[in-house]
Structure 1
Amino acid sequence: MDIELSPDDAAFRDMVRAFLRESLPAEVKAGAAATPSVFVEPEIGQAWNAVLNEKGWLGYQWPAEHGGTGWTPLQRYLFEKECASAGAPNLTVLGLKLLAPVLWNFGSDEQKAHYLPRILSGEDYWCQGFSEPGAGSDLASLKTRAVLEGDSYRVNGSKIWTTHAHHANWMFTLVRTNTEVKKQAGISFLLIDLSSPGVSVRPILTNAGDHEVNQVFLEDVIVPAENLVGGEGQGWTIAKFLLENERGGSCHAPKLCYDLDQIEAVSQRESDGRGGKLADDPQWRRRIAKARLQVDALEMIELKIISEIAKGRKPGPQTSLTKLLASNLRQELDLISVDLFGVAGLQLETTRPLYGPDAPQPVHDKGAQIASARYLNSRAWTIFGGTNEIQNTIIAKSVLGL
């Protein structure tokens, strides 16, 4: 694998850098830096989405025929790396990176024509209805029922850990349409308008005090049959396709590298408690060096996957490896951040948001203020998108042949 950039790719990288210098709003960057949860609030995320959409870059992972950029896998990686290095917020992944590929691979022409432009414009804000109180890692055991009545489905059940359902106006969800077959074969993929009668959303506050996830209740919700994506019973196939995109649809290393750079910079001014600077402490330097090597190794794995995709090959189970490594590294860096600030890193401000003119004043500085909250939120990394145990099983079976 050649990791040297061609002149064309270097020029593309420089173009992205110039755009970010000119077009990334300072308040959006500050809001992203002061957000402890994985998803930034819509007022930050959608503002950045709008800037990228006006430029024509929001669908940077999309094929050109569906309104995207049509960029190569390497160009997509360079875009993500430069956005991370500039401190840009994470994009709203659920519609852009999870639902959109499902629609252009499994959706009808009518569904693609209607929903894809609305994802880019921000008219529709999506959430994902997969997990249930009794079906998380064992997703095939889901019980939310959709019964076909004429030209509509009647849906009953509930979904849990539904990120940003309190902001979303639509939810893509897995439902059980057949109880007489193998459980995986009875699952279908349905699009639900959250303004429909019978839908209610109950907030779930995290240990850090963030309202990011919810439980969604569906009581006799009527959904037009035209909102079925694919055919009845195809939901499990679609879900596996979507989860592969969730685990490997983006590169994790650029953001981890950016955060590690920030930690190293702050350690140059933080005290080691003995009259010196933390950056000069040998044990601290070993800890940072170990994390740096792990982040660099992850980046090499992700670049290898990009190389395979560029050759027309599917990423396959290797995405489970990157998800596993990235989850553990995310938690390690957030723990390092807490330790970086010492006692000041233990503050847990529960007021939200932590950006803007009404944000509470931090103890020490803003980095210290969000350290514990970010650490607590990142505990979910080893759960969402498939637990670490699930990823280990996939790797053992599909990669190692055990």
Structure 2
Amino acid sequence: MKGMSVALDEETIRERAVAFLAGHDPGDRLEFLRARFDAGLAWVHFPEGLGGLGAPRELQNVVEQELAGTPQLDTGVQAIGLGMAAPTILTFGTEEQRRRFLRPLWTGEEIWCQLFSEPGAGSDLATLGTRAVRDGDEWVVDGQKVWTSGAHHSRWAILVARTDPDLPKHRGLTYFVCDMHAPGVEVRPLRQITGEAEFNEVFLTGVRLDDSLRLGEVGDGWRVAQTTLMNERVAIGGAPVRRGGGMIGVVAETWRSRPELRTHDLHQRLLRLWVEAEVTRLAGARLREQLSAGQPGPEGSGMKLSFASLNQALSGLDVELRGEEGLGYDDWTFRRSDSVDFFGRGPGYRYLRAKGNSIEGGTSEILRNIVAERVLGLPSEPRVDKDVPWKDLPR
């Protein structure tokens, strides 16, 4: 009960999940998910009333075990909302914003995308030029964003815009929730190497956002964005994987089923990658344990860096193991993908799509800088533009 201190251990959470399942029909997917959120079994580590119970994060595994086989989230379509928007809204949102956005975000009634990168501000995100100018109780936004996954089916977006060009680049930014259905929002597809268009470019022309859609204080957008970015890297590179699962499992199965393709060199490469995959898996488990004590830190950048390198090496080895068959590609038809179907497609798709792993969610080059400076404590690179007003930077 609210207001009462209840010990939320593994057995208590299990009993709650069992009781919830006994009292709710999983046949109605949406109503079941809504009820699960209201029961605090969406994110058990979130506060009561916001999809959680204020329990330790690791107890979510108990809920998932008991509710296996019931309606589940579409993590491909909902990844940005679940992994990036939700923790940012929880950390910086007002109580009204949390109650408005978190429930339909979790149930999948409202899909989210991320309006961060721009044509001239990718790796150096703080140089972004999309402007938000205050007009009474509203902000008028003009600019262009790029590489926006899922913008074509999103209801809301997390947006960083420049509100004060007279300040240095990191200090003149403000963070907003953007209505993707607002007048002035235009979404155009970007066709990828796979032939698909899960990415988009988004043009914002005179888009009016009420000040109630601002997350955090005016000018504090960079700090808010750091919460999003750190959670993004964990969401991409730190997802739970069983031993021998993920891409290493796909390659190992190819190795077992196609003995005629085996060579000593390929065997040695597979063994090295198996060890690397296991190290990465265990490091991910350790990172998730650290997350139970608070927000993700720069260690998530190391996980995402390792994930990208490993996924590219494994998808390449999978193609080699399959010989001529690996050179085929199943579908070059242009289509608007809803999500990344990495394991539901063939080796050619996996090989091509994995090339994006070292770009999306922070390029590997930038992540190496973060690990060097914030994890290893090495000297930072010289930054001559750090204290220069944004309007005076060369572009």
Deviation at 1:187, TM superposition (A): 0.5
Seen in structure 2, the aligned counterparts of structure 1 residues 69 and 291 have a Cα distance that, compared at 3 Å, is: farther
Seen in structure 2, the aligned counterparts of structure 1 residues 63 and 401 have a Cα distance that, compared at 3 Å, is: same
2:227 maps to 1:227: no
Deviations 1:288-339 (A, max 9, x none): 22111111111222222233334x3554221111111111111112112212
The one of 262, 275, 278 aligned to 1:293: 275
Are the aligned partners of 2:123 and 2:366 in contact in 1 as well (CA < 8 Å)?
A: yes
Instruction: Measure the CA separation in 1 of the matches of 2:245 and 2:363.
Output: 23
Instruction: Measure the CA separation in 2 of the matches of 1:254 and 1:82.
Output: 19
Q: Give the counterpart letter for 1:106 in structure 2.
A: F
Are the aligned partners of 1:131 and 1:160 in contact in 2 as well (CA < 8 Å)?
A: yes
Q: Give the counterpart letter for 2:50 in structure 1.
A: H
Are the aligned partners of 2:240 and 2:285 in contact in 1 as well (CA < 8 Å)?
A: no
Bigger helix fraction: 1
Residues paired across the two proteins, number:
348
Are the aligned partners of 2:308 and 2:358 in contact in 1 as well (CA < 8 Å)?
A: yes
Q: Give the counterpart letter for 1:127 in structure 2.
A: C
* Residue in structure 2 matched with residue 74 of structure 1 by the alignment: 58
Q: Give the counterpart letter for 2:246 in structure 1.
A: Y
Seen in structure 2, the aligned counterparts of structure 1 residues 155 and 309 have a Cα distance that, compared at 3 Å, is: closer
Seen in structure 2, the aligned counterparts of structure 1 residues 351 and 197 have a Cα distance that, compared at 3 Å, is: same
Instruction: Measure the CA separation in 2 of the matches of 1:326 and 1:53.
Output: 33
Instruction: Measure the CA separation in 2 of the matches of 1:335 and 1:170.
Output: 36
Deviation at 1:143, TM superposition (A): 0.5
Seen in structure 2, the aligned counterparts of structure 1 residues 210 and 227 have a Cα distance that, compared at 3 Å, is: same
Seen in structure 2, the aligned counterparts of structure 1 residues 298 and 63 have a Cα distance that, compared at 3 Å, is: farther
Instruction: Measure the CA separation in 2 of the matches of 1:267 and 1:78.
Output: 34
Moved more, 281-290 or 203-212: 281-290
The one of 238, 244, 255 aligned to 1:251: 238
Deviations 1:346-371 (A, max 9, x none): 1222137799xxxxxxxxxx989621
Show the 5 A alignment for 1:60-209. 62-68=46-52, 70=54, 72-76=56-60, 90-91=75-76, 92-209=78-195
Are the aligned partners of 2:301 and 2:367 in contact in 1 as well (CA < 8 Å)?
A: yes
What SS does the corresponding residue of 2:245 show, helix, strand or coil?
Answer: helix
Instruction: Measure the CA separation in 2 of the matches of 1:291 and 1:48.
Output: 40
Deviations 1:242-276 (A, max 9, x none): 11111124724617833322322232222525xxx
Instruction: Give me the TM-score of the superposition, normalised by structure 1.
Output: 0.76
2:354 maps to 1:378: yes
Seen in structure 2, the aligned counterparts of structure 1 residues 218 and 378 have a Cα distance that, compared at 3 Å, is: same
Instruction: Measure the CA separation in 2 of the matches of 1:369 and 1:197.
Output: 37
Q: Give the counterpart letter for 1:378 in structure 2.
A: A
The one of 367, 376, 389 aligned to 1:391: 367
Seen in structure 2, the aligned counterparts of structure 1 residues 284 and 239 have a Cα distance that, compared at 3 Å, is: same
Are the aligned partners of 1:49 and 1:58 in contact in 2 as well (CA < 8 Å)?
A: no
Instruction: Measure the CA separation in 1 of the matches of 2:29 and 2:283.
Output: 29
- Alignment root-mean-square deviation, CA: 3.6
Instruction: Measure the CA separation in 1 of the matches of 2:214 and 2:336.
Output: 39
Are the aligned partners of 1:253 and 1:295 in contact in 2 as well (CA < 8 Å)?
A: no
What SS does the corresponding residue of 1:175 show, helix, strand or coil?
Answer: strand
Percent identity of paired positions between Structure 1 and Structure 2: 31
Moved more, 314-323 or 379-388: 314-323
2:264 maps to 1:270: no
Q: Give the counterpart letter for 1:268 in structure 2.
A: R
Deviation at 1:201, TM superposition (A): 0.7
Q: Give the counterpart letter for 2:318 in structure 1.
A: S
Are the aligned partners of 1:131 and 1:142 in contact in 2 as well (CA < 8 Å)?
A: yes
Q: Which 5+ residue runs of structure 2 have no aligned equivalent?
A: 1-8, 68-72, 379-395
Seen in structure 2, the aligned counterparts of structure 1 residues 380 and 78 have a Cα distance that, compared at 3 Å, is: farther
* Residue in structure 1 matched with residue 284 of structure 2 by the alignment: 302
* Residue in structure 1 matched with residue 197 of structure 2 by the alignment: 211
Seen in structure 2, the aligned counterparts of structure 1 residues 313 and 265 have a Cα distance that, compared at 3 Å, is: same
* Residue in structure 1 matched with residue 315 of structure 2 by the alignment: 334
Deviation at 1:231, TM superposition (A): 1.3
Seen in structure 2, the aligned counterparts of structure 1 residues 253 and 324 have a Cα distance that, compared at 3 Å, is: farther
Are the aligned partners of 1:50 and 1:122 in contact in 2 as well (CA < 8 Å)?
A: no
Instruction: Measure the CA separation in 2 of the matches of 1:291 and 1:24.
Output: 41
Instruction: Give me the TM-score of the superposition, normalised by structure 2.
Output: 0.77
2:303 maps to 1:322: yes
Are the aligned partners of 2:233 and 2:301 in contact in 1 as well (CA < 8 Å)?
A: yes
Deviation at 1:50, TM superposition (A): 8.5
What SS does the corresponding residue of 2:171 show, helix, strand or coil?
Answer: helix
